[in-house]
């Protein structure tokens, strides 16, 4: 394993980046994960709560199999995995090469604080004189120039914000461990040229920079500047745009010829901002709007100075690249109109800021108060701020804001109580994801959230009350005014401002909205081979979609490697452990080795009390202290000590991240590594030091000493009771079963087969292709049939894929890694398969209906029937003058109380198709909410422009269809014009939605539950969206949830990735922390079977024993809790051990 040559590069450490990295690492790839921020987690690290549970579940991304290879803890605190190499505060500066051999340069930003030396005592923060807005809390609170980047990310210690730091050096002298090094000694070597015709600007700018130690020269005109540039070299040029004679843009172009390496920042007035933006294309990196304050200028200058200082790049090679750089959020203050006065009125906040306000770790400590201290009792959420706004260049829907607002409204009511009024102002509530509609209805009925259709444009503060007044017009045209304490702007997304540059660097293309463009039908592939993407990089995804697409990107990256190398991933074996002497009958003899982390921990460790505490336990044989246990001489001497002193157990107290090293030490010294335990004494120190309790340093040090003692005692208990049981293993059958040969099943099969594993595809009908057989083109205008044909041929000609049509899975037995399946084939034949994982892709179909006269009135068609008619002669001979489409037929109300996601897109697609075929046809779409999320919004705009009329209806005033001589007459109430319309129409098209092909019998066969809407029930809606609760079974495509074709492809690839995590292993070993049964104690009451959420327990009736599938068991402990006499125990958590732990805790 060579950390310098990450096999696959993942750029962006948000949810998508972490998910892609984990997927790849778990299938045996080395991953280099690069993140620009100093912490992982991206946007989600700022969101404490997530739909649908309204709390965090990020850790559910962590491996469920082979959990020992990664750290099992809160992902907000960090990610650790044997095969993932993480570079934080790092940027990719250059990429060249081709798939299989990309050469990548990485550049790490200065951090000034040595993470090894820093013990997080916070002494530096206390003495730092600089206060600056805290980005993490969306600028709502202040922080010092030295700070912790993310509140939970303990291991990442402190950082210096170079832009804010004044380099006073106070922190350097306050640091007890000498961890801080300021790197501004040679600012004088950084040469800056200030070019402005206005003397006052020129002089003050130069003066500010000189004061900060930079070397500055000035030029009064473009000519003078070019002259200076020709004579000596500069690192940075500050260049005014509007100058007499030669203007800034011209100077910039010429300067770039003279000194191509120079960094240029444009200085501009309000009126010429556009020119400045234009100048970026000619090589300027940033611009400053005049008048600017010194801080702004200096932070920019310093940023470039830091880059100059840190110019040394790290070079790596990568076989494939996954881009997960996310998106930016829309900044309402960037809108010159800014009528909601964001940034001006403190009571107007963005949804992100509101999340931080809700966070107990945020600036308000989770209490909702107005700036004047009054409790917040009325909140308005305003949707579509920065989205669906053509004037802002956003002809797209940001997709995620509706759900965020609903969640926030519910949380706010939880925080502030039942009396809080929570109103959401919307144009369309786009609750079209899985379970979203139910969530919204629940928010409305049980949560008492008010949903008001109306776009609010401006907020006016009332001088006396401090309230904010808003005005909107109800659908029927009545003007209304309401007052609020707080207004939350549901801000949309924007492509990251660097996207054009990134597109150039990586060679992918951008779509019309500035996001990365994907290949048709494959959202995780860019136009450049070997470079994949996930998350909001390609636009606007929630966590679920990001996670799915990250898995899809990972499987494609992994496939690239497999196909290129023509070799398939090595079967991953669990680490082979040589036999060690059996010490299970011996009393514990523990050698305790305490590390002071290069003396960093000395300041707060009380060695005498550590020894005294340990010595109390007769199991402790020796206590030794080391300075740097993880490396070098100390590491060697520990091995020697173990050999000489012959302990049978090893306790090390150090950083958690060194645990692996000490396991190697144990092996080297001839000890069973399972009998070595590392007590993390660093995290408790960081916790104590960063605790908000106001304690003086001495008290904090004492607290640290106590916590370290507890940590060591706990470690002692763990090691004392440690058991060298070899985890049980299941041999993996390296073969997959896919049920369903629609596009989902075929895509999943191809992804697995391309990795070298055989796949059996079982299809109920007599041909493959599923719903794609009747769909002709997509809303984006891509032809479906050629694509289907391409996939069909690939599948049918693939040497490792076997398709069985007219076949049906009758039963699946077994467990992850080894299933037995019976398949009924045509003519009563029966087949038996063995395989390691199962993918359910049985799809779904358009729901049938008898509403609105469908089935009796020939003028009433479903969307599918229209699609068929449009592509046959059925309609061709007819003159169409009017078409009415009715959305949500039998959907979004009981009993099918969900949104089928694709019908609105289909309606718009058909409307556009009809318009092109019959330019004069009048089309009316009767809808409840037009679910044109994401970029499909632009098609909605197009349809409107084509003259399609969209009329909203509500459940209590549904349209009526009465048969007419030719066609039908549709009656509908139009709330906007406030009257009933009667539309004579040739045809009526019903959007009936999707029903999954997944009966309760299917559920029983595959061991999968169905969700309330009868779709495949995933293990976790957000974090494990294609996994069944039963390990080894996955669900993708529309059996999982209604999806478009490309979304289906992504989910299928994700399911394949998940399946590969099992197939790439020869055996599935359980982790060391699994439940076992002590049969002699067991009364077979079987409570544990009911309690196990992972279906990992069964009663073996022959042996009359409870059996645990160690691979499926996740060690959650539910069985141990319910078992009355500890016949069910989780290894590593024996009762005596826990008792001792409790004793330590209550001491």
Partner 1 sequence: MKDAENVQLAEALAPIRDMVKACIQCGTCSASCPNAFAMADTPRRLWRMLQAGEVQMVLKSGSFTLCSACYTCTLRCPRGLPLTDAMSALKQVVAHQDALRFASTTLFYRKFMESVRRHGRVRETEFMCLYLTAMKNPLLPFQFAPLGLKLFSRKKLDFRPPSKGGDARMDALFQKVHELENAP
Partner 2 sequence: MSLVRKLAIDRQDILGTVQGFLRSILTLEDIAVVLAPRRLAEKSVVMPALITQPDCLSDADPLAPAFFLNAAQMMSRLTRRPSGQKIAVVLRPCEIRAFIELVKFKQGALEDVLIIGLDCLGAYPNTVYRRFAAADPDGSTLRFFFAALSGVSETVEGMELASACRVCEHPFPEGADIAIGFMGISPLDYLLVQGQTPKADAYLAQVKLEPVAIPAGRGDAVASRVSSRVQARDAMISRTHEATGTPEKLAAYLTGCINCYNCRNACPICYCRECVFCTDVFDHEPFQYLQKAGRSGSLKLPADTVLYHLTRLVHMSTSCVGCGQCSNACPNDIPVMELFRATARYSQKAFEYEPGRSVAEPPPMSVFKEHEFADVVGLKGKT
Partner 3 sequence: MKYLYYPGCSLEGTSREYDISTRSVLKALDVELTEIPDWTCCGASAAASVSALLSLALPARNIAAAEAVSDVNDILAPCSACYLNLKRAEEEARHGAEMLPRLNAVFESEGLKMTGRMRVRHLLDVLSQDIGADRIRRNVSHPLSGKRVAPYYGCQCLRPYRVFDNPEKPVSMNALIEATGAQVFPWHMGAACCGASHMNTHAAVGTSLVTAILKAARGADAIVTVCPMCHMNLEAYQDKISQNCHDNLRIPVVYLSQLLGMALGLSETDIRLDMNLSEAAVFSAGSSIVAVR
Candidate residues 80, 108, 455, 505; the one interacting with partner 1 per rule CB under 8 A = 455
Confirm if 523 and 1046 have CB atoms less than 8 A apart. Answer: yes
Candidate residues 1, 271, 478, 894; the one interacting with partner 3 per rule CB under 8 A = 271
Report if residue 253 touches partner 3, rule: CB under 8 A: no
Q: What is the C-alpha to C-alpha distance for residues 559 and 568, in angstroms, rounded to an integer?
A: 9
Q: What is the C-alpha to C-alpha distance for residues 1126 and 36, in angstroms, rounded to an integer?
A: 48
Look-up of token digits 């340990």: 614
x/- track of binding to partner 2 for residues 612-631 (CB under 8 A): ----xxx-------------
Nearest CB to partner 1, comparing residues 418 and 481: 481
Report if residue 1091 touches partner 2, rule: CB under 8 A: yes
Q: What is the C-alpha to C-alpha distance for residues 358 and 269, in angstroms, rounded to an integer?
A: 38
Residues with Cβ within 8 Å of residue 2, at least 6 apart in sequence: 30
Report if residue 1122 touches partner 2, rule: CB under 8 A: yes
Interacting residues with partner 1 between 311 and 350 (CB under 8 A): 337, 339
Confirm if 356 and 49 have CB atoms less than 8 A apart. Answer: no
Nearest CB to partner 1, comparing residues 929 and 1002: 929
Percent helix / strand / coil, the chain, rounded to 5: 35, 25, 40
DSSP designation for 516: B
Q: Which does 946 bind (CB under 5 to 8 A by kind): partner 1, partner 3, partner 2, none?
A: partner 1
**Which residue(s) pair with 1139 in the sheet?**
none
CB of 478: closest distance to partner 3 in angstroms? 18
Confirm if 279 and 263 have CB atoms less than 8 A apart. Answer: no
Q: Which part of the chain contacts partner 1 (CB under 8 A), choosing from 113-121, 204-212, 390-398, 896-904?
A: 390-398
Q: What is the C-alpha to C-alpha distance for residues 356 and 138, in angstroms, rounded to an integer?
A: 7
Report if residue 457 touches partner 1, rule: CB under 8 A: yes
Report the half-sphere exposure of 62 (CA within 13 A, side-chain side). Answer: 23
Q: Alpha helix locations (H) across 578-696?
A: 607-615, 632-645, 659-668, 682-690
Q: Which part of the chain contacts partner 1 (CB under 8 A), choosing from 124-132, 159-167, 472-480, 913-921?
A: 472-480
Q: How many CB atoms lie within 10 A of CB 878?
A: 13
Q: What is the C-alpha to C-alpha distance for residues 192 and 184, in angstroms, rounded to an integer?
A: 15
List strands edge to edge, sheet with 31-34: 84-87, 31-34, 8-11, 320-323, 531-533
Establish whether the linkage from the previous residue to 291 is cis, with ω within 30° of 0: yes
Report if residue 54 touches partner 2, rule: CB under 8 A: yes
Report if residue 880 touches partner 1, rule: CB under 8 A: no
Q: Alpha helix locations (H) across 1020-1082?
A: 1045-1063
Kindly state the number of chain residues that form the binding site for partner 2, as judged by CB under 8 A. Answer: 29
Q: Environment class of residue 163 by beta-carbon count within 10 Å: exposed (0-12), middle (13-18) or buried (19+)?
A: middle
Report if residue 1124 touches partner 1, rule: CB under 8 A: no
Q: C-alpha distances in angstroms, 932 versus 328, 427, 520, 938, 1045? A: 21, 12, 18, 8, 15
Q: Which does 242 bind (CB under 5 to 8 A by kind): partner 1, partner 2, partner 3, none?
A: none
The 8 Å CB, 24+ separation contacts for 137-145 are: 137/353, 137/356, 137/362, 137/363, 138/46, 138/349, 138/350, 138/352, 138/353, 138/355, 138/356, 139/353, 140/349, 140/353, 140/356, 140/357, 140/362, 140/363, 140/364, 141/362, 141/363
CB of 546: closest distance to partner 3 in angstroms? 35
Q: Which does 55 bind (CB under 5 to 8 A by kind): partner 1, partner 2, partner 3, none?
A: partner 2
Q: Which part of the chain contacts partner 2 (CB under 8 A), choosing from 283-291, 917-925, 1023-1031, 1117-1125?
A: 1117-1125
Candidate residues 59, 94, 390, 1142; the one interacting with partner 1 per rule CB under 8 A = 390
Candidate residues 5, 475, 583, 1029; the one interacting with partner 1 per rule CB under 8 A = 475
CB of 1121: closest distance to partner 2 in angstroms? 8
CB of 940: closest distance to partner 1 in angstroms? 8
Candidate residues 173, 458, 850, 1125; the one interacting with partner 1 per rule CB under 8 A = 458
Interacting residues with partner 1 between 919 and 938 (CB under 8 A): 922
Q: Which does 53 bind (CB under 5 to 8 A by kind): partner 3, partner 1, partner 2, none?
A: partner 2
x/- track of binding to partner 1 for residues 812-851 (CB under 8 A): ----------------------------------------
Which tokens belong to 1015? 């779709």
Q: What is the C-alpha to C-alpha distance for residues 844 and 920, in angstroms, rounded to an integer?
A: 35
Confirm if 106 and 87 have CB atoms less than 8 A apart. Answer: yes
CB of 273: closest distance to partner 1 in angstroms? 18
Confirm if 7 and 561 have CB atoms less than 8 A apart. Answer: yes
Helix (H/G/I), strand (E/B), else coil: 795: helix
Q: How many CB atoms lie within 10 A of CB 871?
A: 16
Candidate residues 1084, 1098, 1105, 1117; the one interacting with partner 2 per rule CB under 8 A = 1084
Report if residue 916 touches partner 1, rule: CB under 8 A: no
Report if residue 204 touches partner 3, rule: CB under 8 A: no
CB of 545: closest distance to partner 2 in angstroms? 24
Nearest CB to partner 1, comparing residues 391 and 692: 391
Nearest CB to partner 1, comparing residues 476 and 1086: 476
Q: Which does 974 bind (CB under 5 to 8 A by kind): partner 1, partner 3, partner 2, none?
A: partner 1
DSSP designation for 937: H
Nearest CB to partner 1, comparing residues 882 and 1137: 882
Confirm if 769 and 792 have CB atoms less than 8 A apart. Answer: yes
Nearest of 1073, 240, 303, 225 to residue 722 by alpha carbon: 1073
Nearest CB to partner 1, comparing residues 898 and 935: 935
Nearest CB to partner 1, comparing residues 60 and 471: 471
Q: C-alpha distances in angstroms, 913 versus 906, 918, 928, 1063? A: 10, 8, 22, 44
Interacting residues with partner 3 between 290 and 349 (CB under 8 A): 336-339, 341
Q: Which part of the chain contacts partner 1 (CB under 8 A), choosing from 388-396, 964-972, 1010-1018, 1084-1092?
A: 388-396
CB of 1080: closest distance to partner 2 in angstroms? 7
x/- track of binding to partner 3 for residues 424-463 (CB under 8 A): ----------------------------------x-x---
Report if residue 450 touches partner 1, rule: CB under 8 A: no
Q: What is the dihedral of CA 982, 983, 989, 993, to 10 degrees?
A: -40
Q: Which part of the chain contacts partner 1 (CB under 8 A), choosing from 251-259, 491-499, 939-947, 1011-1019?
A: 939-947
Report if residue 163 touches partner 3, rule: CB under 8 A: no
Residues with Cβ within 8 Å of residue 862, at least 6 apart in sequence: 846, 848, 849, 854, 989, 990, 991, 992
Candidate residues 251, 443, 456, 968; the one interacting with partner 1 per rule CB under 8 A = 456
Nearest CB to partner 1, comparing residues 406 and 470: 470
Nearest CB to partner 2, comparing residues 54 and 627: 54
Candidate residues 116, 668, 949, 1122; the one interacting with partner 1 per rule CB under 8 A = 949
Kindly state the number of chain residues that form the binding site for partner 3, as judged by CB under 8 A. Answer: 8
DSSP designation for 510: B
Per CB under 8 A, residues contacting partner 2 are 53-55, 414, 616-618, 1080-1087, 1090-1091, 1122, 1124-1127, 1134-1136, 1139-1140, 1143, 1147
Per CB under 8 A, residues contacting partner 1 are 337, 339, 384, 388-392, 427, 454-458, 471-475, 477, 479, 922, 940-941, 944-947, 949-950, 952, 974, 976-978, 981
Per CB under 8 A, residues contacting partner 3 are 271, 336-339, 341, 458, 460
């Amino acid at each position: 394993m060579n950390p310098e040559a990450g096999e696959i590069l993942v750029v962006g450490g948000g949810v998508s980046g972490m998910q892609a990295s984990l997927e790849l690492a778990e299938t045996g790839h080395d991953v280099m994960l690069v993140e620009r921020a100093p912490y992982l987690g991206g946007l989600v690290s700022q969101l404490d709560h997530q739909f649908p549970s309204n709390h965090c579940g990020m850790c559910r991304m962590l491996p469920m199999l082979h959990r020992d290879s990664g750290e099992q803890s809160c992902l907000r605190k960090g990610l650790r995995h044997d095969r993932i190499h993480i570079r934080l505060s790092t940027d990719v500066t250059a990429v060249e090469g081709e798939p299989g051999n990309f050469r990548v340069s990485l550049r790490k930003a200065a951090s000034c604080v040595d993470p090894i030396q820093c013990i997080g005592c916070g002494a530096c923060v206390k003495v730092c004189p600089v206060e600056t807005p805290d980005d993490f809390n969306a600028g709502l609170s202040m922080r010092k120039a030295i700070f912790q980047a993310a509140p939970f990310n303990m291991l990442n210690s402190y950082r210096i914000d170079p832009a804010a730091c004044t380099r006073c050096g106070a922190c350097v002298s306050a640091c007890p461990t000498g961890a801080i090094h300021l790197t501004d000694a040679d600012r004088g070597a950084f040469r800056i040229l200030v070019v402005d015709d206005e003397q006052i600007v020129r002089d003050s700018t130069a003066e500010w920079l000189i004061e900060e130690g930079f070397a500055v020269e000035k030029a009064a005109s473009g000519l003078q500047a070019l002259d200076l540039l020709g004579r000596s070299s500069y690192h940075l040029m500050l260049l005014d745009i509007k100058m007499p004679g030669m203007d800034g843009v011209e100077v910039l172009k010429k300067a770039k010829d003279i000194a191509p390496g120079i960094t240029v920042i444009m200085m501009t007035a309000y009126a010429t901002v556009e020119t400045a933006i234009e100048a970026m294309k000619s090589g300027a990196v940033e611009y400053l709007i005049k008048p600017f304050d010194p801080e702004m200028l200096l932070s920019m200058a310093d940023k470039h100075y830091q880059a100059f200082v840190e110019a040394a790049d790290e070079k790596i090679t990568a076989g494939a690249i996954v881009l997960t750089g996310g998106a930016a959020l829309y900044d309402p203050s960037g809108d010159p109109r800014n009528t909601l006065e964001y940034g001006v009125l403190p009571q107007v906040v963005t949804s992100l800021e509101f999340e931080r306000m809700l966070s107990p770790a945020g600036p308000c400590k989770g209490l909702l108060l107005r700036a004047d201290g009054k409790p917040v009792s009325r909140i308005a959420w305003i949707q579509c701020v920065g989205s669906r706004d053509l004037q802002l260049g956003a002809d797209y829907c940001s997709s995620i804001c509706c759900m965020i607002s609903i969640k926030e409204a519910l949380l706010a009511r939880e925080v502030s109580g039942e009396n809080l009024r929570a109103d959401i102002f919307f144009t369309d509530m786009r609750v079209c994801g899985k379970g979203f509609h139910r969530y919204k209805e629940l928010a409305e009925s049980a949560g008492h959230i008010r949903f008001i259709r109306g776009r609010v444009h401006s907020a006016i503060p009332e001088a006396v009350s401090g309230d904010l007044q808003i005005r909107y017009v109800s659908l029927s045209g009545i003007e209304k005014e309401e007052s609020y304490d707080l207004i939350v702007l549901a801000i949309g997304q924007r492509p990251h401002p660097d996207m054009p540059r990134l597109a150039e660097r990586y060679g992918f293309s951008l779509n019309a909205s500035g996001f990365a463009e994907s290949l048709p039908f494959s959202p995780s592939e860019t136009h450049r081979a070997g470079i994949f993407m996930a998350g909001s990089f390609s636009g606007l995804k929630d966590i679920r979609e990001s996670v799915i697409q990250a898995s899809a990107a990972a499987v494609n990256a992994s496939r690239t490697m497999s196909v290129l190398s023509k070799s398939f991933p090595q079967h991953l074996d669990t680490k082979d452990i040589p036999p060690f002497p059996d010490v299970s009958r011996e009393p514990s003899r523990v050698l305790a080795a305490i590390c002071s982390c290069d003396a960093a921990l000395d300041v707060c460790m009380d060695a005498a009390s550590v020894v005294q505490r340990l010595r109390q336990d007769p199991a402790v044989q020796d206590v030794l202290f080391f300075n740097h246990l993880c490396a070098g001489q100390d590491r060697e001497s520990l091995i020697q000590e173990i050999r000489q002193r012959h302990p049978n157990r090893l306790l090390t107290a150090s950083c958690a991240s060194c645990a692996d090293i000490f396991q190697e030490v144990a092996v080297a010294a001839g000890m069973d590594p399972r009998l070595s335990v590392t007590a993390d004494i660093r995290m408790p120190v960081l916790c104590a030091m960063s605790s908000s309790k106001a304690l003086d340093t001495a008290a904090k040090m004492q607290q640290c000493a106590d916590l370290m003692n507890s940590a060591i005692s706990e470690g002692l208990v763990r090691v004392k009771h440690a058991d060298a049981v070899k985890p049980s293993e299941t041999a993996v059958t390296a073969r997959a079963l896919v049920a369903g040969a629609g596009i989902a099943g075929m895509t999943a099969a191809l992804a697995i087969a391309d990795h070298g594993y055989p796949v059996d595809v079982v299809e109920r009908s007599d041909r493959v292709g599923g719903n794609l057989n009747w769909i002709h083109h997509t809303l984006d205008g891509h032809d479906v049939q050629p694509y289907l044909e391409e996939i069909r041929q690939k599948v049918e000609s693939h040497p490792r894929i076997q398709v069985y049509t007219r076949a049906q899975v009758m039963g699946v037995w077994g467990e992850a890694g080894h299933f037995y399946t019976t398949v009924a084939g045509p003519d009563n034949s029966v087949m038996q398969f063995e395989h390691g994982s199962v993918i359910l892709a049985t799809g779904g179909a358009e729901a049938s209906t008898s509403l609105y006269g469908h089935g009796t009135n020939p003028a009433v068609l479903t969307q599918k029937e229209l699609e068929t008619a449009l592509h046959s002669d059925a309609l061709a001979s007819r003159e169409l003058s009017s078409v009415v489409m009715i959305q949500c037929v039998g959907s979004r109300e009981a009993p099918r109380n969900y949104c089928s996601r694709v019908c609105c897109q289909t309606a718009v697609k058909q409307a556009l198709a009809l318009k092109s075929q019959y330019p004069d046809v009048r089309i009316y779409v009767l809808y409840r909410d037009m679910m044109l999320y994401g970029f499909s919004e632009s098609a909605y705009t197009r349809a409107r422009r084509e003259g399609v009329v969209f009329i909203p209806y509500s459940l209590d005033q549904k349209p009526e269809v009465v048969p007419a001589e030719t066609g039908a007459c549709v009656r509908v109430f139009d709330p906007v014009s406030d009257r009933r319309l009667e539309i004579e129409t040739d045809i009526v098209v019903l959007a009936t939605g999707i029903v999954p092909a997944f009966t309760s019998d299917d559920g029983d066969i595959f061991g999968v539950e169905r969700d309330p809407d009868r779709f495949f029930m995933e293990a976790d809606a957000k974090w494990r969206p294609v996994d069944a609760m039963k390990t080894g079974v996955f669900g993708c495509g529309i059996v999982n949830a209604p999806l478009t074709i490309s979304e289906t492809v992504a989910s299928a690839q994700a399911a394949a990735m998940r399946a590969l995590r099992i197939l790439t292993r020869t055996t599935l070993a359980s982790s060391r922390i699994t439940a076992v049964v002590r049969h002699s104690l067991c009364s077979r009451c079987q409570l544990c079977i009911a309690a196990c959420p992972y279906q990992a327990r069964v009663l073996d009736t022959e042996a009359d024993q409870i059996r645990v599938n160690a691979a499926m068991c996740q060690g959650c402990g539910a069985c141990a809790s319910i078992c009355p006499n500890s016949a069910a125990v989780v290894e590593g958590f024996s009762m005596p051990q826990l008792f001792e732990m409790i004793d330590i805790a209550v001491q």
